[in-house]
Amino acid sequence: MEQPTIIINVAQSLDGYISGHNGKRIQISCNEDMKRVANLRKQCDGVMVGKNTALFDNPNLKSDSSDDRKFRIIIDRELGIPMTHNIYDGSYPTIIITSRTDGKKIKKLSYVNPKEFNMPSIMQALYDFGIRKVLVEGGAMTIISILRSCRVDQFFVYVGPVIMGSGGVRLFSVHGEREIKFLQIKLIGNGALFQIDISSLEGL
Ligand SMILES: NC(=O)c1ccc[n+]([C@@H]2O[C@H](COP(=O)([O-])OP(=O)(O)OC[C@H]3O[C@@H](n4cnc5c(N)ncnc54)[C@H](OP(=O)(O)O)[C@@H]3O)[C@@H](O)[C@H]2O)c1
C-alpha cells in the first residue's frame, strides 16, 4: 500500500497526559515550541487530527505558509462534528475522512472515503488524493493506531512543565513497561523535545 510520509508531533505533560480533565485543552507548548510546530506544518501538505480532538479543542489546523495546496485533515467516520466547528468555516482547504457519502457540499471541503476504515486505507486514500507528507497532531487514539499500523517517519513528543493529575487523555496507555530509544533530546523554551526511535516502539 502507498502512504504519505508521516510525521507525528504531540505535546504532553510531565505525567504523560496530552489533555486536562475530561479532554479539556491545556496549553503545554511554549512559544518557541509553537514556532517549531508551525515550521513542521509548513513542510507538510496537511495537518491531521482525530474526531475527538476536533470536537474538544476546535482547532483551526492552519499553516501560515503562502502555499495554497495545504489541507487540514480530520477523521470523522460518521460526520459527527457539528457544522459550527472551525473545520467547517470554509476558510481553508479541508479534507474529512469519512465512511459517509452524503456529506454536505461546502466550498473548500473534500470528503474522502477510504476503502476500509483503518489507518493503512486512510493513508492510501490521502496518498491518492495527492497528500505526500502529513503531520499528525493527535489525539492519542489516532497517534497510537497510526504507530501500530503504518510506517511512521518521524515521531516527536514535546514535554512541557506541567503536571495534569488524573482524568485526562494519556498518550500511551500500554500495559507493562518497555524500553524505548530517543534519536534526539533538545531543550526548547521551558520544556524538552524528544524524537523517538520508531523501531523501539515495535509491537506497541
Ligand atoms: N497535547 C497535544 O499535543 C494534543 C494534540 C491533539 C489532541 N490532544 C488532545 O487529545 C484529546 C483527544 O484524543 P483522543 O485519543 O480521545 O481522540 P482522537 O485521536 O482525537 O480521536 C479519536 C477518534 O478519531 C477517529 N479515529 C482515530 N483513529 C481511527 C482509526 N484508526 N480508525 C477509525 N477511526 C479512527 C475515531 O472516531 P469515531 O469514534 O467517529 O470512529 C476515534 O474515536 C483531546 O482532549 C485533545 O485535547 C492533545
- The pLDDT tens digits for 30-62 are 999 999 999 999 999 999 999 999 999 999 999
27: CB partners within 8 A, 6+ apart: 160
Q: What is the pLDDT of residues 155-165, one digit of tens each?
A: 999 999 999 99
User: What's the chain's length in residues?
Assistant: 204
DSSP class per residue in 11-69: EE-TTSBSS-GGG-----S-HHHHHHHHHHHHHSSEEEE-HHHHHHH--------S-S-
Domain residue ranges of the chain, discontinuous segments joined by +? 5-201
Per-residue pLDDT, 146: 98
Best probe residue, ligand 1, of 18, 26, 123, 171 (max atoms within 8 Å of C-beta): 18
Rounded percentage of the chain residues whose pLDDT exceeds 70: 100
Cβ 23 under 6 angstroms from ligand 1: yes
State whether the beta carbon of 138 lies less than 6 angstroms from ligand 1: yes
Q: Residue 187 corresponds to which cell in the numbers above?
A: 531543550
**Which mutation among 29, 141, 159 tests ligand 1's pocket best, with the greatest number of atoms within 8 A of CB?**
141
According to the model, what pLDDT value does residue 64 have? 87
For atom 29 of ligand 1, the residue with the nearest CA is 142
User: What pLDDT is attached to residue 152?
Assistant: 98
Q: Is the CB of 157 under 6 A from ligand 1?
A: no
pLDDT band at 193 (very low <50, low <70, confident <90, very high): very high
Q: Does domain 5-201 have CATH number 3.50.50.60?
A: no
DSSP-based helix, strand, coil % in the chain, nearest 5: 25, 25, 50
